[in-house]
Chain A
Amino acid sequence: MAQMGLRIARALQPVAQPVLALAATLAVAAALLALGGHSPADAFGALVQGAFGSWNRFLSFTLVQATPLLLTGLAVAVAFRAGAWNIGAEGQLLAGALAGVALAISWPEASALVLLAATFAAAAAGGAAWALVPIAMKTRMGVGEVITTLLMNFVALFLAQFLVQGPLRESRGVFNMTDEIPAAAQLAPLFPGTRLHAGFLVGLLLAGGLWLYMSRTPGGFRVRVAGASPRAAVASGRFDPARVVRWSFLASGAIAGLAGWIQVAGVTGRMYEGLSPGWGYTAIAVALLARLHPGAIVISAVVFGALGAGGGAMQRDAGVPEAWVRGTEALLILALLAVDRGFRAASKGDS
């Protein structure tokens, strides 16, 4: 009898822990909101309504906000899988956006198809080029990539500032932004009447492709081995893990570069100084929450996109100021991590 009770308790434990974590975090978030004089019910209601209230909201707000996070999340995961700690997705994103914009506005006479291919290639090359310096310093000089990729972010930020204030400034020469890219270079909406652009589809295809590559191909296996145990890889004598790391790192930069250009081609139509609010950094949370699994990154990015879209609605419809919104979002992300951790611990306990 007593054993039975113990067994039930043990069976419930993996469920109870994450549920408790989620409930506790929601309670803390609600208390914080109430402390600020905001109705938690209104605030959470607005959050859910803003992100999932209608198909159009889900497509036009949540998925549009998820797109750059999906792409940068994949970029981070590709590098992390191979054991390269690329903290530079932010800079690679900006470099890709700059390369794409520079090409698009200087080549307006190109046909849509040519321009599409050329700008995507330029953006990927721009992002990859931004990863080259950290790769070279890592492999030639042994300088840790965490610091070099981080520093390259600042270089990209200032380069973007310089370019939109100078050589790439709009032809009126007034505001700090580029000219609008030609219509041929812009990504069309996936569904008429919504804002969701083809960039999200690119992200989905990329996620699917990476998933297959990582799990089904020898190349993907080598990446995983190189990341999990480079010494085992060397000992196997079958491939050079350093080479695999270099290529993964380069691919990571290229994907982040695509993220930047897709944001310009699908949403803004121009390059601004403040194009990214830090997607390249949020991407690390997106990728880690998904445990670097390309399929899970899609879900993780949509969750973050929903928080972003719902956060806007919290401001508009519940009158919660930006700072409280971001605080609540951070708490919810922590709760998700706690839940995830709880399930993971539970599943390990089972095996």
Chain B
Amino acid sequence: MISGSTKQWRAQRHRIACWTATAVAACGGPSADGSDNPDPAGSSPSVALLTSGPVSDAGWHAGAYEGLQRIGDSLGWRISHQQTRTPAEFDEAFISYAEAGYGLVFGHGFEYQDAAERAAAQYPDATFVVSSGSRAAANLVPLIFRLEEAAYLAGMAAGGVSRAGVVGMVGGVEIPPAKGTFLAFGAGVAAVNPEATVLETFTGSWDDVAAAKEAASAQLRRGADVLIHNVDAASFGVFQAVREAREQRGRAWAFGMNRDQNAVAPEVVVGSAVIDIPALFLQAAVAWHEGSLRGAPRAGLASGAVDFVPNPALADVVPADVEARIAQARRDIASGALEVPRIRYLEEDTLPAASPVQPPPN
């Protein structure tokens, strides 16, 4: 059962890779030797990225930057990045990139929504993509991440792992995407163990390791034996608190979030709710080049770029029956049979459903 799940995960990862590769080939991108020009008319397309934090954060911004680099490396396109500090610089950067002939500009975060909308109206020839954006237009594309679908599966695993029946969640800044993952995680826990208590703390910081550790320790003292985090760079503090609790009490586990953190603390991290931002950026770039980047792409379990990844080193921690239920839930969520509770922070009803983030043809 367990190895089956791991194998499935491996297959899934393989699928992401193949899918990306075929998508690139299909769009007429450069061949492996890079000699082909993706744009036969002349110069290759240009893609730019704006982040409002450093790309060295090993998390949200780093994922976007990696995606940009992947676009540059595998498609041979011209790439550029700017870290913006103020909303005044948002407009400045969008305008500059559009005027310099960049055809596709990513604004990585909801904060870029207003400025991207202004730029999209002013520069109809360029396409603006806003991560977690909330409004769409012909050349304005919100990219919606459904990390909560993976968080739900992690919650099911946590519900199966916990013996105390108390599960804790340590978050950074209390924003809807973070709250959404916890809402789904809690629902996942309840799906497996309806009696379980779920604790929730927000530290107010994405990178305050000490605060994250303190919050985690407090939850562990309140009886939690399984913790999940959504604190980006401060996750180390949560894992450390779990390690220390285990030394004292003998039993404590953690779950990773955003990136595959199974190797960060392989002895305590049972699995991670993962979002593959680089793969999504590459897909979006390819879809844009094909002319199919429209509407509001949603990247959930069905896209393969969001998933719950169990730690192979701790494969026997999650009970086999729970493993099976997770596998079933994964299929149900992907097919739409099971809807994960989430915070409807995007004006989804008004957003067109068109999506380039399609499941790959098998």
| B48 proximal to A (CB < 8 A) | yes
- Nearest CB in chain A to that of B113: its residue: A175
Chain A residues with CB under 8 A of B174: 165
Assess whether A263 is interfacial by the CB under 8 Å rule. Answer: yes
Decide: A322 and B345 in contact? CB cutoff 8 A.
Answer: no
Contact A309 B92 (CB under 8 A): yes
* Residues on the A chain within 8 Å of B80, using CB: 315-317, 319
User: Across the interface, do A322 and B114 meet the contact criterion of CB distance under 8 Å?
Assistant: no
A165-B174, A270-B114, A317-B100 known; A312 and B345 CB under 8 Å? no
Cross-chain contact of A312 among B96, B110, B173 (Cβ < 8 A): B96
A269 and B96 contact, CB distance less than 8 A: no
CB neighbors of A among B74-90 (8 A) = 80-89
In the bound complex, residues from chain B placing their C-beta under 8 Å from that of A60 are: 92, 95
Does B111 lie at the interface of the complex (its beta carbon under 8 Å from any beta carbon of A)? yes
Q: Is B34 an interface residue (CB 8 A)?
A: no
Which residue in chain B gives the minimum CB-CB distance to A267?
Answer: B88
Q: Does A17 contact B (CB under 8 A)?
A: no
CB <8 Å contact, A322 and B100? no
Determine the chain B residues whose CB is within 8 A of the CB of A177 once the complex forms: 111
Query: A322 with B83: in contact, given A175-B110, A269-B114, A309-B92 (CB under 8 Å)?
Result: yes
A316 with B82, Cβ < 8 A, contacts A61-B92, A175-B110, A322-B54 known: yes
0/1 interface trace, chain A 213-228, chain B, CB 8 Å (1 if under): 0000000000000000
The interface on chain B, measured as residues whose beta carbon lies within 8 A of the other chain's beta carbons, has a size of 30
Asked whether B91 lies within 8 Å of A277 as measured between CB atoms, the reply is: no
Q: Which residues of B contact A176 (CB under 8 A)?
A: 173, 175
Nearest Cβ on chain A to B89's Cβ, whole angstroms: 6
- Whole-angstrom CA separation of A209 from B91 in the bound complex: 31
Chain A contact patch, size range: 20 to 34
Contact A312 B95 (CB under 8 A): no
Residue in A closest to B132 when the chains form the complex, CB atoms:
A175
Query: In the assembled complex, which residues on chain A have CB atoms less than 8 Å from the CB atom of B48?
Result: 316
Q: Which of A263-296 contact B (CB under 8 A)?
A: 263, 267-270, 272, 274-277
Flag whether B150 is at the interface (Cβ < 8 A): no
B100: chain A residues at CB < 8 Å are 316-317
Q: A319–B68 Cα gap in the complex (Å)? A: 13
Most buried by A among B82, B86, B175: B86
Chain B 106-137 residues near chain A, CB threshold 8 A = 110-111, 114
CB pair A175–B176 under 8 Å, yes or no, is yes
Out of A174, A274, A319, A323, name the residue touching B176 (CB < 8 Å). Answer: A174
Does A65 interact with chain B (Cβ within 8 Å)?
Answer: yes
Tell me whether B241 is interfacial, beta carbon within 8 Å: no
Is A79 an interface residue when CB atoms closer than 8 A count as contact?
Answer: no
Q: A312-B96, A316-B48, A317-B100 are in contact. Are A65 and B88 (CB under 8 A)?
A: yes
The verdict on B47 contacting chain A, using a C-beta distance below 8 Å, is: no
CA distance A263 to B86 in the complex (A): 10
Across-interface contacts of B97 in A (CB, < 8 A): 316
Q: From B80, B89, B174, name the one whose CB has the most chain A CB atoms within 10 angstroms.
A: B89
Q: What residues on B are CB-neighbors of A138 within 8 Å? A: none
Task: State whether the Cβ of A172 lies closer than 8 Å to any Cβ in chain B.
Answer: yes
* B93 is an interface residue with CB less than 8 A from chain A: yes
A38 touches B (CB below 8 Å)? no
CB-contacts of B142-176 with A (<8 A): 173-176
Q: How far is the CA of A209 from the CA of B111 in the complex (A)?
A: 37
Shortest distance in angstroms between B86's beta carbon and chain A's nearest beta carbon? 5
Tell me if B87 and A267 are in contact (CB < 8 A): yes
A93 contacts partner chain B, Cβ-Cβ < 8 Å: no
Contacts of B81 in A (CB 8 A): 315-316, 319
Shortest distance from the beta carbon of A199 to any chain B beta carbon, whole Å = 11
In the complex, residue of chain A having the shortest beta-carbon distance to the beta carbon of B111 = A272
28 CB < 8 A contacts A-B: A50-B96, A60-B95, A61-B96, A64-B92, A65-B88, A65-B89, A172-B345, A175-B111, A175-B345, A195-B91, A263-B88, A267-B87, A267-B88, A268-B87, A270-B114, A272-B111, A276-B86, A308-B89, A312-B84, A312-B89, A313-B96, A315-B83, A316-B82, A316-B93, A316-B96, A316-B97, A319-B80, A321-B83
Chain B positions within 8 Å of A, measured between CB atoms, are 48, 52, 54, 80-89, 91-93, 95-97, 100, 110-111, 114, 173-176, 343, 345, 347
The 3 closest A-B pairs by CB, nearest first: A322-B83, A174-B345, A268-B87
- 20 additional contacts (CB under 8 A) given A176-B173, A308-B89: A60-B95, A61-B92, A64-B88, A65-B88, A165-B174, A174-B345, A175-B110, A175-B176, A175-B345, A176-B175, A195-B95, A274-B52, A274-B86, A275-B86, A275-B87, A277-B85, A312-B84, A315-B80, A315-B82, A322-B83
Residues of A within 8 A of B (CB): 50, 60-61, 64-65, 165, 172, 174-177, 180, 195, 263, 267-270, 272, 274-277, 308-309, 312-313, 315-317, 319, 321-323
